[in-house]
Structure 1
Amino acid sequence: MDTIKKLRFLFNKVEKIKFLIIFISLLLGAFLEMFGLSFIAPLVGIISNPNTIHEQKILQYIYNLLGMSSTKDFLLFMIICLLALYIFKNIYLFFMYHIQFKFVYNQQAKFSRRMLQSYLRKPYIFHLQRNTSELLKNVNNEVNALFGSVILSSLLLMAEALIVLAIGSLLLVVAPVESMVVFAFLGITSGIFLKIFRKKIKQAGKQNQQHHIQMIKWVNQGLCASKEVKVTGREDFFVNAYTANSKKFAATLCYYQLMNQIPKLFLETIAIVTILTIVTIVVIENKKTNELFPILALFCMSAFRLMPSINRINCYINSILYYKPSVDVIYKDLYEDQDSNSSYFQKKSNSYNRNDILSHLSCGISIENVSFQYPNAVDYVLKNVSFHIPKGKSVAFIGQSGSGKTTMANIILGLLDPSQGTVTVGGINIHDNPKAWSSIVGYIPQSIYLSDDTIKNNVAFGIEEEKIEEEKVWGSLEKAQLKEFIEKLPDRLNTYIGERGIRLSGGQRQRIGIARALYHEPEVLILDEATSSLDNATE
């Protein structure tokens, strides 16, 4: 029930209505399955004993209504009807599954976007507390697991359950005693199976999630530090750490797949027991042989259809149990943490805009009694810090490592909210609307992030290519003293620089970071040891 409540929160009213429509279509599909099977017993009965047409009132009524003159014509009519019904049923099911899969996977793409958007808009402090590998896995893997293995499995489970219910109802009407014996045995054994393995499957799912996070983490760390790994000769350390988690991950998958195969083996035994039970009951009740064939044919066809359905039901239940932790993860990051880690922009009031800041910028930036303490930390990094930065002036923060220089820069950037105190521009608190403040601020960090893209796209970072102004790109590169170097490259601005700018020197990477900050023509420029990789003359 807890999982169902969480799933309800994840979807809006329109999406819930779509789920209802899909459920109704599943109901109709189950009815068609039952209707198709209901033709089997009369057809076999007519084949084994043509007089059945005149002995059963419904068949006799249809026979007279159609003006049939022979049992052969009526049998041919029944065969054509059955064939047409199955063709129609399968065409309907094809389109039903198409709509179902389209809805589920469109929602999957939508949720992946929501997760990424949610993470990118969370405050900076959130990213300081979470591992990138975990967030990467949540966006790509947990959302896929939610829709592919929980939502889709739930829909398919409902479809198969409705089919089993419809066919089971038909069997109870045709052969109540035999059906009750089989269903009672099947229900009891399935219940015992779920009781024994339910908790183990859920536990395996949680372990799978944890080991997957570790696998991504070790791949990330090994590949991102490939230079350091090679210099220190630590390749085996990262491979072994990855392998240890990979083996545990494989063990949980092995257990999960084994649990999916057990019901299939079990159901094959049940099918044989069912047929032999029916024969035994018919013999005990001294029924005639020609009465046996229609019932036996119906049960054989039902078993042919039900065995895969019941097996799939067990697989879907296992899938839902195994991937249930995905529901918990997505619900937690999208809803439970919404208050404590609300959107970086959405939680702020829009009491002022960019123009308001620009009009007050002549007053300079005032830092008043600012203190800051990281979550779960005992000591304050900054305590009652106050100073003023006049417009047009440069101020340097000097201090030993760990003294809070980068933290202060992050507070002035608007990334971190001070625990106490304010940062204002002409009386306007910059943390009331960090989006407006960030539009006039340029930032050059210690470590420049460069994407595996062209020089042009890295300078105009985050701007669609058709909206990039090349003149501004060249201008900012010239200010960063990199224009001459890029003009000599064969592809110039369209040169790809590799992942993290690996094809450039440290100084060139840092100058692209400087050009990036200057491209947006900021009114305020914050540098965090941004020239550490440059020679003295360039600096």
Structure 2
Amino acid sequence: MREDLRYLLSTFTARDRFLLVMVVLAQFTSALLDLVGIAVVFPLMQALTGASLEGGILGRLYDVLGGGSRERFTIVLALIMILAFLAKAVLASIILWWSSGIVVRLQTTTSRRLLQHYLTEPYLRHRDRNVGEVISAVGQGAQMAHTSVLGGLLQVLSQAMSIGLIAVFLLVVAPLPTLAAIAYFAIVVFGLQRALAPANRKAGLEAQNAAWASSHALVDSLHGFRELTMHDAQGFFVDRFDVANVSQAQSARRANFLAMLPKSVLELTTMAAIALLVILSVATGSEAAALPTLSLFVAASIRILPSMVALTATLGTIKVGRAGLEVVVRALQEALTSGVDDQDPRTTAALPVTEAPIEVQQVGFRYPGAGRDVLRDVTLRIPNGSSLALAGPSGSGKTTLVNIILGLIPPTSGSVTYGDVPVRQSDQWWHDVVAYVPQDVYVADDTLAGNIAFGVPEDQRDDELVRRSADRALLGDLLAELPDGLETRVGERGSRLSGGQRQRVGIARALYRQPQVLVLDEATSALDNETEHRMTETIRSLHGEITTIIVAHRLSTVRHARQLAFLADGRVEAVGTFNEVVSASPRFARLVALGQLDLQEGPESA
């Protein structure tokens, strides 16, 4: 755990590490005030029992405080004790609020860094990642690493300093009893930690695994609502979530029990030690002389006992949080390896080229671990402002080719260029050039305007452009039905919209970006025939203005493209106009015949 903690600290800024050091120094000051309050007990009890005020430490303290009557001296000592404890209580409260604020801020910073890593990592890695894993690391993992481990260590240091200073003072006043007490409590605390460490470690791992499992089950059940309803599978998913949730709750129960168990043990052992001191004093007949020392030990015990309880409980909490720390450190190391930093992904550089053709040159691709290539030697050229339709049977590589053109995945061989500039996922300028509309459009739980101006803060939104984009995407009928028009909230994942309406929102979102390249991947598959026809006319009107790439199984969507590429078995079997591809590819001609399309209609007759 030491190496993991050191790595976590290395991810903090120099200022944050300095603040943590300042917290420790403030805690040391608080421990000194604690010591003053305890130290005053010894002379106070001496004064109360009639000890001589001349000579010795008590006499010097009497002179420093201005002398006077014994009653005055006793009252001054009592006031000093009260003020010391009061100042310590106030300072400790301030330190607790301050340090917890620092820890929480560091936690949120780490969570943000992890989420940014997950959202900017390579598409292939993201595609294979489990949602529950992400939720667990960003949420509970970060919380355990910072609150349980880092915050716990700060608490351990605070309690240890307080106990240590009081122990040093007791050594000076009564060396032998203090050494005996230190040995006694060291054995008790060490024994507790050795006995509880495996259970704490197990509870932490169980809590982390159960949190992942419950998040995974919850996400699956909510995303598959329609399917599980139609299959009457609600009980299955509820049971699956319940098993993980009960396991998580039981892990939390065990962790809380293990954290509180030392309190009972330490209270018992402390009271037993005090009782033993009293018995020894009475047995030796020195109870009167031993009263100041005995009172000091009782006062010290009253103060040290909560610290020892908190220290042992916090050590257990740290062990529970170790699993979360390991998860977070692995994720941070992965983020560092992948080159993710704290830069805002919205930051963009100047476009290196504009209004240029797209060149796909001898592109091949094989998914990691796959036995064969998905694409082989694909070469295409899409002039600026033109349109290319990609057609082919399922599994022919259309979507993979689109992902390569989008820069989401790098080709295994060959290249994609825009005006001789290579296209890569990390190129922010390319994201300003291209807009993408998938078949399953993601709709956020926001207003319709917020979904069209996707990712744009409300105060930076161009409302006129939002309205124009909505009109071009044929959302006028929908706007007329909505009570608040563009400001109507559409529900989580667009639950208040139909499939066709969600696709039109996706098209409006793409048009809002005013792209130079528009990629439509089955983006009209959920539209009715009339709306699809109108949308096709809208897309055709973009000719000369926006380079358009269209992927569709419904050939009526692609028949008017200026250029059509038919893919089969990962290769381009034919390229040309719609009718030229029909003539060149028997397989495409069969698809057309099955679709009962009129071969005479195409861009030539349009």
> Residue type of the partner of 1:51?
A
Aligned with 1:442: secondary structure?
strand
Unaligned residue ranges in structure 1 (runs of 5+): none
Kept in 1, the 8 Å contact 2:136–2:208? The answer is no
Q: How far does residue 515 in structure 1 lie from its aligned partner after superposition?
A: 0.8
Match of 1:324 in 2: 322
Task: Single out whichever of 443-452 and 269-278 deviates more from structure 2.
Answer: 269-278
1:538 partnered with 2:531: yes
Unaligned residue ranges in structure 2 (runs of 5+): 533-606
Residues 426-480 of structure 1: CA deviation (Å, up to 9, x unaligned): 3211128521111011110010000111111111111111222222122112221
Q: How far does residue 337 in structure 1 lie from its aligned partner after superposition?
A: 4.2
Match of 2:352 in 1: 356
> Residue type of the partner of 2:100?
F
Matches within 5 A, 1:228-239: 228-239=227-238
Aligned with 1:356: secondary structure?
coil
Q: Distance in 1 between matches of 2:306 and 2:63?
A: 39
Change (3 A) 1:90 1:271: same
User: Which one of the candidate residues 417, 439, 443 is aligned to 2:432?
Assistant: 439
User: Which one of the candidate residues 389, 396, 411 is aligned to 1:396?
Assistant: 389
Residues 65-87 of structure 1: CA deviation (Å, up to 9, x unaligned): 55534211211221222222222
Aligned length in residues: 530
Matches within 5 A, 1:63-82: 63-82=62-81
Q: Scaled by the length of structure 2, what TM-score is found? A: 0.83
Match of 1:377 in 2: 370
Match of 2:471 in 1: 478
Q: Distance in 2 between matches of 1:459 and 1:228?
A: 28
Matches within 5 A, 1:242-321: 242-283=241-282, 286=284, 288-321=286-319
Change (3 A) 1:488 1:336: closer
1:23 partnered with 2:20: no
Aligned with 2:371: secondary structure?
coil
Task: Single out whichever of 5-14 and 216-225 deviates more from structure 2.
Answer: 5-14
Match of 1:336 in 2: 334
Change (3 A) 1:262 1:494: same
Match of 2:508 in 1: 515
Change (3 A) 1:378 1:95: same
Q: Which has the larger radius of gyration?
A: 2
Match of 2:591 in 1: none
Q: How far does residue 89 in structure 1 lie from its aligned partner after superposition?
A: 2.2
Kept in 1, the 8 Å contact 2:409–2:425? The answer is no
Q: Distance in 2 between matches of 1:417 and 1:320?
A: 42
> Residue type of the partner of 1:228?
E
Aligned with 2:378: secondary structure?
strand
Task: Single out whichever of 201-210 and 408-417 deviates more from structure 2.
Answer: 201-210
Residues 85-134 of structure 1: CA deviation (Å, up to 9, x unaligned): 22222222222223212222222222222222222222222311211222
Aligned with 1:378: secondary structure?
coil
Q: Distance in 1 between matches of 2:62 and 2:84?
A: 19
> Residue type of the partner of 1:68?
G
Aligned with 1:368: secondary structure?
strand
Q: Distance in 1 between matches of 2:24 and 2:341?
A: 38
Match of 1:53 in 2: 53
Match of 1:127 in 2: 126
Q: Distance in 2 between matches of 1:475 and 1:517?
A: 12
Q: Which has the higher helix share?
A: 1
Match of 2:11 in 1: 10
Q: Distance in 1 between matches of 2:342 and 2:142?
A: 24
> Residue type of the partner of 2:360?
I
1:110 partnered with 2:106: no
Aligned with 1:395: secondary structure?
strand
User: Which one of the candidate residues 483, 488, 500 is aligned to 2:493?
Assistant: 500
1:489 partnered with 2:482: yes
Aligned with 1:338: secondary structure?
helix
Q: Distance in 1 between matches of 2:210 and 2:369?
A: 26
Match of 2:559 in 1: none
RMSD: 2.3
Aligned with 1:396: secondary structure?
strand
Residues 203-232 of structure 1: CA deviation (Å, up to 9, x unaligned): 321221111111011111112222222222
Change (3 A) 1:308 1:205: same
Task: Single out whichever of 6-15 and 233-242 deviates more from structure 2.
Answer: 6-15
Q: Distance in 2 between matches of 1:432 and 1:476?
A: 26
1:468 partnered with 2:469: no
> Residue type of the partner of 2:310?
R
Change (3 A) 1:192 1:373: farther
Q: How far does residue 61 in structure 1 lie from its aligned partner after superposition?
A: 2.6
Change (3 A) 1:344 1:414: farther
State the identity %: 31
Task: Single out whichever of 375-384 and 99-108 deviates more from structure 2.
Answer: 375-384
Q: How far does residue 345 in structure 1 lie from its aligned partner after superposition?
A: 11
Q: Distance in 2 between matches of 1:51 and 1:104?
A: 49
Q: Scaled by the length of structure 1, what TM-score is found? A: 0.93
Change (3 A) 1:472 1:65: closer
Q: Distance in 1 between matches of 2:359 and 2:139?
A: 43
1:425 partnered with 2:418: yes
Kept in 2, the 8 Å contact 1:263–1:314? The answer is yes
Q: Distance in 1 between matches of 2:128 and 2:27?
A: 44
Kept in 1, the 8 Å contact 2:437–2:521? The answer is yes
Q: How far does residue 302 in structure 1 lie from its aligned partner after superposition?
A: 1.3
Kept in 2, the 8 Å contact 1:178–1:281? The answer is no
